[in-house]
Amino acid sequence: MKPSGQMTVNLTGELEQFVRDQVQSGAFASNSDYIRNLVRDRYLQERDRAAKLKALDAALERGIADAEAGRTMPVDVAFRRLRDELGLDEQSPAR
């Protein structure tokens, strides 16, 4: 059994050469450092995406609860308030 944290990765010849070139250019200390960096970046992206989805779900739940409780307003009133808050006049085109 391999020690914890160790993993074997099989790459095509082209990808292996790309990793070696990246290391040889001095951008990374080793092949492992390069792969670790890629995995870390992807991990952080996925973690941030999950956090954003969780926040969006919570906002949707709050919005649904507000609607069910009758805390709503006509859409024209809502847009007028938004225009006022953003300092837009009635004729400003939507983007």
> What is the chain's Cα-based Rg?
25
Domain ranges of the chain: 13-86
Q: What is the tens place of the pLDDT at every residue in 53-70? A: 999 999 999 999 999 999
pLDDT score for 90 = 75
Q: What's the pTM? A: 0.66
pLDDT score for 89 = 85
Note whether 28 and 36 are within 8 A (CB).
no
Q: Which residues of 18-33 are buried (b: 16+ CB within 10 A; e: fewer)?
A: ebeebbeeeebeeeee
DSSP 30: S
Distance CA 68, CA 57 (A): 16
